[in-house]
Structure 1
Amino acid sequence: MPDPRFLVVLDADSTLIRNEVIELLADEAGRGPEVAAATEAAMRGEVDFATSLRSRVAALEGVPVTAFARVLARIEPTPGVHELIHAVHARGGRVGVVSGGFHEILDTIAPDLGVDVWRANRLAVRGGALTGQVEGGIVDAAAKAFSLLEWAGADAIPASQTIAIGDGANDLKMMDAAGLGLAFNAKPAVRAQADLVIGPVDLREVIPLLP
């Protein structure tokens, strides 16, 4: 198989999928509205992402791991995601997903959609329930940018041949590191700093921009 020609990296929540997974998990704890408000503030860049994520994950303490199946059943892939991933592969590219969300969900969604490589946070579990803590380092803005450059480097893809697609403030460093940064379903601060803004919530709009 020839080496990939280019790399497309997407955010997960509200980009690859229409949902915010942490809000779905918070619904299981009966704390959906407060976590949704905190997520919105983080995506707008009003608060530090890592600090915000830790406080939101703390609200999930006690949620049983059996809730993951219910959350997965509620996940909706973003319109056009299948077509975009197929087009990337057809043109000799690779697809990555890097998420401030969680491996527990992405490990099922990503391979089902045909994603080649992915990285996310991991939730700590004890006794069959969430502890309210994140295990290991947090996937924040810097980690997203690092992932894009690491994956590109592993395949000898120049940064100029990378595309980053995101919606929130924690995607801006990744978008800046990429050859092309696309704001998709994005907050105002992200639209203002992106190379291009995708208007419709349909990932097929990205296909004409592929190398």
Structure 2
Amino acid sequence: MSQVKGLCVMDVDGTLILEEVIDLLGREVGREEEISQITSRAMRGELNFESSLRKRVYLLEGLPVSVFDKVFKSIHLTPNAQKFISILQKNGILVGLVSGGFTPIVERLAKSLGIAYFSANQLKVKEGLLTGKLVGAIISPEIKQATLEKWRKELKVPKERTLSIGDGANDLLMLKSAGLGIAFCAKEVLKKEIPHHVDKRDFFEVLSLIDCLERGKI
């Protein structure tokens, strides 16, 4: 790997992609409305993220793991996300994904975008079916923040050359830990705490914001 000049850590659902994957999974099990309502409340900071995630995952019990093939085909990258990531990578800024979503989707997204660093939740599977439970540590707001710090230290990137982008309450700590945190088409709870916003769903708007804030940093 050539020298890393900076680090950009991005949320996935509602940021890198337009959809919330867990809501799409809910559609496959006939519980989309119920799950979507919980997701919305959690992203607004009205519910504890970990407990609300466990509740939503429980409702997915019995889905075949093959459902991820179908869901992956139905998600859409946010406009200009791929070009944005390519521009950062060409300028020595490593991109990582930290998601409260699920590894089967995030891993495929990362590979398709040439991203080596990613972290997401693991779903428990038995005999090819989702059990409605999670495996290992949940990617909580605290874990998102810790992951950014871990990668930053591994890559020997100073804090002022880190960028973080997210849209929900569970991204707040991560955005606050970065040299530049950007609330991307974000919930009000995030916009109240994070001074830099992008309110148009287009990653070229993020590039513009970075350029405007350029002072010898990212």
TM-score range, shorter chain: over 0.9
Q: Which residue of 2 aligns with 1:91?
A: 91
What TM-score results when the alignment is normalised by the length of structure 2?
0.94
CA drift at 1:94 = 0.3
**Could you tell me how far 1:87 is from its partner in structure 2?**
1.0
1:109 alignment counterpart: 109
Per the TM alignment, residue 41 of structure 1 is displaced from its structure 2 partner at its CA by 0.4
Distance 1:116 1:108 in 2: 11
* Amino acid across the alignment from 2:41: A
Map of 2:33 onto structure 1:
33
Q: Distance in 2 between matches of 1:124 and 1:38?
A: 21
The Cα shift of 1:204 comes to 1.3
Partner of 1:106, secondary structure, is: helix
Q: Which amino acid aligns with 2:26?
A: A
Q: Answer yes or no: is the 8 Å Cα contact 2:80–2:203 preserved in 1.
A: yes
Q: Which amino acid is 2:23 matched to?
A: E
Identify the residue that residue 197 of structure 2 maps to in structure 1: 197
After superposing the two structures, state which structure 1 stretch, 25-34 or 111-120, moved more: 111-120
SS across alignment from 2:76: coil
Structure 2 unaligned spans of 5+: 212-217
Distance 2:95 2:62 in 1: 34
SS in 2 for 1:100: strand
Structure 2 Cα separation of the partners of residues 80 and 135 of structure 1? 33
Partner SS for 1:190: helix
Amino acid in the other structure paired with 2:207: I
- Distance in 1 of aligned mates of 2:103 and 2:76: 17
Q: Please give the per-residue CA displacement for 1:123-143, whole angstroms capped at 9, x wherever unaligned.
A: 000011000001111001000
Q: What code does the residue aligned with 1:47 have?
A: L
Counterpart residue number, 1:149:
149
Match of 2:51 in 1: 51
Post-superposition, which runs of at least 4 consecutive aligned residues in structure 1 deviate over 2 A? none
- Return the alpha-carbon distance in structure 1 between the equivalents of residues 7 and 68 of structure 2: 30
- Aligned residue for 2:96, secondary structure, equals strand
The 3-state SS of whatever aligns with 2:109 is helix
Task: State how 1:166-185 maps to structure 2 within 5 Å.
Answer: 166-185=166-185
Match of 2:120 in 1: 120
Query: Retained in 2: the 8 A contact 1:180–1:195?
Result: no
CA distance in 2, matches of 1:191, 1:8: 19
Distance 1:207 1:87 in 2: 9
Separation in structure 1 between the aligned mates of residue 77 and residue 14 of structure 2, nearest angstrom: 9
Pairwise CA distance, 1:105:
0.8
Q: CA RMSD in A?
A: 1.0
In the TM superposition, residue 89 of structure 1 has moved relative to its aligned partner by 1.0
Q: How many residue pairs are counted as aligned between the two chains?
A: 211
Aligned residue for 1:11?
A: 11
Shift of 1:34: 0.3
Ranges in structure 1 where 5+ consecutive residues have no aligned partner: none
How many Å apart are 1:30 and its aligned residue? 0.4
TM-score normalized by the length of structure 1: 0.97
Same amino acid, percent of matched pairs: 41
Q: SS at 1:193's partner residue? A: coil
Shift of 1:75: 0.8
